[in-house]
Every structure is written in structure tokens, then in C-alpha cells.
Structure 1
Amino acid sequence: MTDNAEPKAHFIISKIDHFYSKTPALKGINLKINEGEKVAIVGPSGSGKTTLLSMLNASLQPTQGQIIIHGKSSSQYTSKELKALRSKIALIPQNLALVSSFKVWQNVITGNIGKYGFLELLKNLLAPAKKTLIDIHSILDRVGIEEKLFATTSNLSGGQRQRVAVARSIFQSPSAILADEPVSSVDPARARSLVELLLKVADEEKTTLIMSLHNLELAMEKFPRVVGMRNGSVQFDRSPDQISKEELQELYQLEEKEILEDG
């Protein structure tokens, strides 16, 4: 009976519009993402991908419409509930949000910042329990940089820093991982490796994974569901084998205004 059970919705995005001042960032967005799904969001710069991820993390409320997270509208969560909610939704931002002067283990431990009070966080950053360091070392082993436990983050390569950000999200024990262009600054081989790592983590942890990507090839090859966005609107939402080449070309086609601005 359980095999045929209806999958639970993790996120329901209903009739979302969002404006920055008077500029529309999102227009008429409707999406449902179930628990454990792996979804790639693709589209040109400025299409609204980052804004959408910020709303899924409940760090931004829409101008109109609602986002339901675990059965409750994000606007109805209390401040305390929002803090608890965000502690279960790991966000890997474009800039990775790592503290360069921290040791690797310290950056990983900040994954639990939403679960700690200030004094407890300070204690863990200055004098972590032995078990905490063992747990972090185990996570670093999973992402392939176990030897960097005590390294200073500023001394790491770009690819290693990205793996620290992934390790931080694992340490958070999230129900969902939101990754915003996590491979935009690395070469194709490292990009593929990182996407495969995040997909593996999502499988092992039974975690929902939503990733925005500029790398269309990786999105189409690795994800079972691809959402295409342009000018703040969803253009398609299907499995890769149901998306035509014409749709992909239209998604990235420059409008006359954009061509003139680029020129």
C-alpha cells in the first residue's frame, strides 16, 4: 500500500508574482515539488531563478500568491517557526557564503547555525566536542576532502570550497537542499563532479534537491525534471526527454532589446 501512496508535497508554489520596486521578477509561477524530488531550474541570467530559490528558503515573501512548505504557507510561520524551518532547508548560494578566515570544520559547523543560540554557536566554533569533529571529518570524507579538516578556507581551491559548502549542507541534516548556480565558476569536469556529488547526497539522505544551473547539458543529462524560466515566467516543466530543441533555443534566445543593450 505504501508504494502506491501519493507522494507528499514539499513545496507548492501558487500564483506567485514578485516585484523589486516596480520591476517584475516573477510572474504567475505555479509549481509543485514533492519530497525527495530532484529538480533543475534553467534559464538565462535575470530569469528569476535566484528569487525563486530565496522564496523556497522562506527568506523572501512573494508580492502576490503563496508558497506552501510542508503543508503550511510560508507567510503563516512565526519567527521561531521560520528559524526552525530554515534550519532544515540548506541553501548553497552562488558566492557559497563561506568565511575565508575560518578553518574548514568551522565553516561546516555553521550549517547548524539555525539550531544554535549565540553562546552555543560560539562555544562550538571555539571548542567543538570531539564527536562533532569526528562527524565533520566523516562528512568531509564523503565529499572527498577529508584531509582539509583543519585547513584554512582561504587556502582552498574553488572546487574544494564548493565541497565545503556541500559538506556544510550535509551537516545541517536538511529535508531539502537548494543550490543556486553551484558550478558557475569551475571548469566542466569539476562542474559535472559537483552536480553528481549533490545528486548522490540527495539520494543517500533522501533529500529534496533543487538546483539552478546555467549548464544546460548537465541539467538535461542528470536531472529527471527540468524547469525552464525566462523573464520571470516558467516556460516548461517536464522530464528532459519531453523538452524539444526548439524550446531550449527559445529559452535562451536574445530579444532585440537585449541584443542592443549587449552591443
Structure 2
Amino acid sequence: MITIDNLNLHYDKTAGYNTRKKTGKKETSTQVIFDLSLTINEGEKVAIIGPSGAGKSSLLHHIYQQLQTSAALCSQRQGLVDNLSIYHNIFMGALARHHWLFNLVNLIRPFKQDLNDIATLCQQLELDQPLAKKVDQLSGGQRQRVALARALYQQQDTFIGDEPFSALDPLMKSRLLDTVLARHKSVIMVVHDRELAITAFDRVIALDKGRLVLDSQKQSINQQQITALYQTSAVA
């Protein structure tokens, strides 16, 4: 599905991500990924873990840029439009599937089928709120589920998520993860919950200070290895 070969990724506050370091007199970019190589095959369920500042979101951003037309992204920033309803925010995930005129009419006066489809999706995500409710009136956990619903509504084979359940309790997190895994052929997700990473995913990738330090199938790793990674980073 995707192969990355010796990736060196830099981030610039004004220019965003780039794979080449700037050569001007004043250096404004920071290297966030160092000499990283990996291959992710179609059908894999991959968790990306690592301490804060390890480069997880940067790697995920790069992967999404390579797969953009065939992947649905659920990012930490959410990208919700506060003054629009739950329905409108979720339906925006389907804009690329329809003609612009269909989208315009459906956003002004939603069609019954789309209302039913989105209502069903919200039920599956345990989002028990009126679809007409504006998202600026929702809690943090509810907003996360709206962002998740919009990504699921894209109906892509690949789901890319950057800690999409961080504001949810462990039981809700586990149930929603099961939904994501069941609805997508391939999943690549930054995961904060280390135990969840090694129990729910096929493969675990760990980063530390922008470098790949672990890449194993789940049956080959254990919680002690993961704990040691975070302890070593904290000491350093």
C-alpha cells in the first residue's frame, strides 16, 4: 500500500512539512523524522506509538499525503465547522462522492436517505444528539465522535487516525475502535493507549525522537518492551 524509504522530514511553521532542509542563511525548519524506512501493506491494522514529541503525528501526516485520495483522515484538530450542525459536519465527508449540485441541495435541505444513513452512523458511535444540533454545543467527546463519523462517512478502504479517541473513556474507546477496524480494510492509527496498541492491532510501530525504534507484529512484542521504550525516553 505504501513504502517509505529513508524519509527525512522537516517541519517549518510557515511552509509546513517538507522532505528537504532549507538552505537559506536563516534556518527555520526543524527535522522531525530521521532516516525512516518502512512498508505498510494493504489489509494491515497498524498502531503507531511513542512518547510525546516522537514524531508520530508527523509520520501519520506524511502517510496521509501519500494516500490522500484513497484514505479517510481523522486528525486531532478535527476540522469541524462550529456554526454548522452535526449532520452538515458529517455529510461533508461525502462531498467528493457527489456532484456539487447534489451536495448543495443536500446541505440546504437534507435528503431522507442521507439523514437516515447519518443517523444510523451516529447510533453506532453512541452519539445520541439531534442531528440539527450545532457542534459548538457539544462536549469534547461528542465532538470527537462527530469527527470520527465524518471520516467513516467517506467510506474509504483505509482509515488514518491521529489519536481519534483521546477524550473518551476506555470502554467507549474500545467499542469505537472495534467499529473502525471492522469498517476498513487497512487502518493506520496513532494510539496513546499502549495496551490497546498491542491487543487490538496486527502490528505496532514505535517512534522515539523521530526515529523508528520498533516495528513488530503484535505476537512478537509485550507490554514490558513498550514500557521500557517510554522509560528510556523519559530518562533521556
Task: Give the TM interval when normalised to the shorter protein.
Answer: 0.7 to 0.9
SS of aligned partner of 1:186:
coil
Aligned to 1:159: 141
Residue 198, structure 1, aligned to residue 198, structure 2: no
Q: State the AA in 1 paired with 2:53.
A: G
Structure-2 change in CA distance of 1:30 and 1:128 (3 Å): same
> Is the Cα–Cα contact under 8 Å of residues 208 and 233 in structure 2 kept in the other structure?
no
Aligned with 1:45 (options 42, 52, 59): 52
> Is the Cα–Cα contact under 8 Å of residues 75 and 164 in structure 2 kept in the other structure?
yes
Quote the Cα distance in structure 1 between the aligned partners of 2:170 and 2:112: 37
Quote the Cα distance in structure 2 between the aligned partners of 1:214 and 1:170: 21
Q: Identity of counterpart residues, as a percentage?
A: 34
Aligned to 2:90: 108
Per-residue CA shift, 1:64-102, capped at 9, x if unaligned? xxxxxxxxxx4xxxxxxxxxx634311111132222222
- What's the TM-score, normalizing by structure 1? 0.74
Task: Give 1:43-192 correspondences, 5 Å limit.
Answer: 43-58=50-65, 74=66, 86-115=68-97, 121-145=103-127, 148-192=130-174
Residue 227, structure 1, aligned to residue 209, structure 2: no
Per-residue CA shift, 1:5-27, capped at 9, x if unaligned? xxxxx221121111224422111
Structure-2 change in CA distance of 1:23 and 1:147 (3 Å): closer
Q: State the AA in 2 paired with 1:27.
A: F
> Is the Cα–Cα contact under 8 Å of residues 51 and 233 in structure 2 kept in the other structure?
no
Quote the Cα distance in structure 2 between the aligned partners of 1:87 and 1:122: 22
Q: State the AA in 2 paired with 1:194.
A: L
Q: State the AA in 2 paired with 1:28.
A: D
Quote the Cα distance in structure 1 between the aligned partners of 2:122 and 2:43: 23
Q: State the AA in 2 paired with 1:152.
A: K
Aligned with 1:247 (options 209, 225, 232): 225
Quote the Cα distance in structure 2 between the aligned partners of 1:246 and 1:166: 31
SS of aligned partner of 1:19:
strand
- Deviation of 1:210 after TM superposition, in Å, equals 0.7
Aligned to 2:195: 217
Q: State the AA in 2 paired with 1:89.
A: A
> Is the Cα–Cα contact under 8 Å of residues 198 and 222 in structure 2 kept in the other structure?
no
Structure-2 change in CA distance of 1:256 and 1:226 (3 Å): closer
Q: 5+ residue gaps in structure 1? A: 1-9, 59-73, 75-84, 259-263
- Deviation of 1:200 after TM superposition, in Å, equals 2.7
Aligned length: 220
SS of aligned partner of 1:18:
strand
Structure-2 change in CA distance of 1:161 and 1:255 (3 Å): closer
Q: 5+ residue gaps in structure 2? A: 12-27
- What's the TM-score, normalizing by structure 2? 0.81
